[in-house]
Chains A and B, each alone.
Chain A
Amino acid sequence: MSQGLWPTAGLSLRVSLAATALALVVGVPLAHLNARRRYPGKGLVEGLIVVPMVLPPTVVGYVIIALLGVRGWVGSWLHAWLSYSILFRFEGAMLAAAVVALPLLYLPTRAAFAAIDRDTEDAARVMGASRWQLFWHVTFPMALRGLASGLMLAFARALGEFGATVMVFGIRPGHTTLPVSIYLDYEQGEMALAAPAVAILCVLSMAMTLLYNRSALSRQD
């Protein structure tokens, strides 16, 4: 059932990039909001964003299936009206990886927003900057380092996602990610076949970690 290393690596990259993008789109506004505002239920929202970091990914997979599976709360509705099920689809793999990657993007980004000197923003406001101008020309650039390190960690985490992915994306011939292909080879007693996938993941994850360390250290200069 093996499908060759490069298609597997290609799918893994596409899933992790899409998941990181999703985490970015969801994570940055939430990080900005939570760094600046207080509102009822904020603790719960932050808890929900961050808890996949410590939960077993199998719990994340379970919750996604319970919500979005054909018999799930939302999924049964989607299935009835649109004949759509997220399971075994690219979107499923993307969602599973995005949920586990989100906290790693969210936390440094939120910290970066929180660390911005409010006086600088006030100065921009005094000079007549609109809310959008303020965000795009002052706040966002100042938080970019934190966001960049969050992106690297989130991408690395998405690339390594296995537990939730194997539950939500399943195992389909010609559509396995690198971590799933390693597990499949192991299960078939073909450890040697998994070595190249292991090597690729080690190199990519190490590269991401090095980049992260470098950007995190340079911030202290």
Chain B
Amino acid sequence: MKCVLAAFFVLVAALTAGGAPSARGEAITVAAAVSLKEALSDVAVRYKAETGEGVEFTFGSSGQLANQVLNGAPVDLFVSAANRQVDDLDKAGAIVDSSRRVVAGNSLVLVVPAGSDKAPTSLGALTTPAVTRVAVGEPGSVPAGQYAREALERAGVWAAVRDKLVLGTNVRQVLDYVERGEVSAGIVYATDAKQAGAKVRVACVIDPRDHGPIVYPAAIVKASAKRAAARLFLDYLTSEAGQSCLKKHGFSPPPVESSAPPPQ
């Protein structure tokens, strides 16, 4: 018993003494909507190759990330999948207002599990009994869910499908539910469907006029100590090199007129 206790304390001492991180690298931290995961990681690899500057990411739903930024998370740049979350941070004075710009656009699709028969082919068809569960993002914190709700309301089926809804805490969870066949259908971004490859099938593309414009605004966090470095990466994102990378992953370029936040 004494030996075990002694070994335990030796272990504690060894691990905690060496555990303090040696001077943190200069890498900036970017909190970004999870739909951008592969695209932004790809951009960062090129950015590192070209400039030698490192970028670290934390991905999640835009609402969750905005909440973390608001609560003082050590983030330098925030990339959201909707204006609402950046507006919220702006109102709270948490971002550098002048740094705000849209970096990409996207579209919304209805996806079904790859092998599913009886799959719905429109939002209206989600009310049929063959459709038992429909996954969307949690509209309060997940932009894809917010857009999905708008589209479902526009199609007049929101109330009818409400009892079938399963809410993902970010859009990739919605995609995962569909990939695993746990739900009959889900609403995700076109880029997510592309990312999933053969595991899901796009049942229909949702008319962009049926929901608010899907844009990805980025802004530098006011509390950041690396604002200059964050601005360089943001510039790279909107540069030709950054944009071609985003395009490769299926994102559309930022709409021309959307550099200013739209009136709410």
A interface list, Cβ under 8 A from B: 1, 69-71, 79, 85, 87-88, 170-174, 184, 186-190
Q: Are A171 and B169 in contact (CB under 8 A)?
A: yes
Q: Are A173 and B167 in contact (CB under 8 A)?
A: yes
Contacts of A173 in B (CB 8 A): 162-163, 165, 167
Q: Mark B161-191, 1 if CB is under 8 A from A, else 0.
A: 0110111110000000100111000000000
Contacts of B177 in A (CB 8 A): 170
Number of residues from B at the complex interface, CB < 8 A: 23
Q: Are B166 and A172 in contact (CB under 8 A)?
A: yes
Contacts of B138 in A (CB 8 A): 1, 171, 184, 187-188
Answer whether residue B143 sits at the interface, using C-beta atoms and an 8 A cutoff: no
Closest A residue to B183 by beta carbon equals A88
Q: Which of B138, B167, B177, B182 has the most CB of A within 10 A?
A: B182
Q: Are B180 and A69 in contact (CB under 8 A)?
A: yes
Contacts of A184 in B (CB 8 A): 138, 140
Chain B: minimal CB distance from A76 (Å): 9
- Mostly, the B contact residues are mixed
CB-defined A-B contacts under 8 Å, sample of 30: A1-B139, A1-B140, A1-B167, A69-B180, A70-B180, A70-B181, A85-B182, A87-B182, A88-B166, A170-B166, A171-B169, A172-B165, A172-B166, A172-B167, A173-B167, A174-B162, A174-B163, A184-B140, A186-B67, A187-B63, A187-B64, A187-B67, A187-B140, A187-B169, A188-B67, A188-B138, A189-B66, A189-B70, A189-B88, A189-B141
Q: Are B181 and A188 in contact (CB under 8 A)?
A: no
Closest B residue to A71 by beta carbon equals B180
Q: How far is the CA of A86 from the CA of B107 in the complex (A)?
A: 32
Chain B: minimal CB distance from A91 (Å): 14
Q: Mark B139-169, 1 if CB is under 8 A from A, else 0.
A: 1110000000000000000000011011111
Q: How far is the CA of A186 from the CA of B64 in the complex (A)?
A: 9
Given A69-B182, A172-B167, decide whether A187 and B162 contact each other with a Cβ distance below 8 A: no
Q: How far is the CA of A85 from the CA of B180 in the complex (A)?
A: 12
Answer whether residue B133 sits at the interface, using C-beta atoms and an 8 A cutoff: yes
Closest A residue to B163 by beta carbon equals A174
Contacts of B169 in A (CB 8 A): 171, 187
Q: Are A88 and B140 in contact (CB under 8 A)?
A: no
Contacts of A186 in B (CB 8 A): 67
Contacts of B163 in A (CB 8 A): 173-174
Chain A: minimal CB distance from B261 (Å): 19
Q: Are A88 and B133 in contact (CB under 8 A)?
A: yes
Closest A residue to B67 by beta carbon equals A189
Chain A: minimal CB distance from B260 (Å): 24
Answer whether residue B29 sits at the interface, using C-beta atoms and an 8 A cutoff: no
Chain B: minimal CB distance from A63 (Å): 15
Q: How far is the CA of A85 from the CA of B140 in the complex (A)?
A: 27
Which of A1, A70, A171, A187 touches B182 (beta carbons < 8 Å)? A70
Q: Which B residues from 107 to 157 make CB contacts under 8 A with A?
A: 133, 138-141
Contacts of B166 in A (CB 8 A): 88, 170-172
Answer whether residue B83 sits at the interface, using C-beta atoms and an 8 A cutoff: no
Answer whether residue B243 sits at the interface, using C-beta atoms and an 8 A cutoff: no
Contacts of B133 in A (CB 8 A): 88
Q: Are B61 and A187 in contact (CB under 8 A)?
A: yes
Q: How far is the CA of A186 from the CA of B60 in the complex (A)?
A: 14
Chain B: minimal CB distance from A121 (Å): 35
Contacts of B181 in A (CB 8 A): 70-71, 79
Contacts of B180 in A (CB 8 A): 69-71
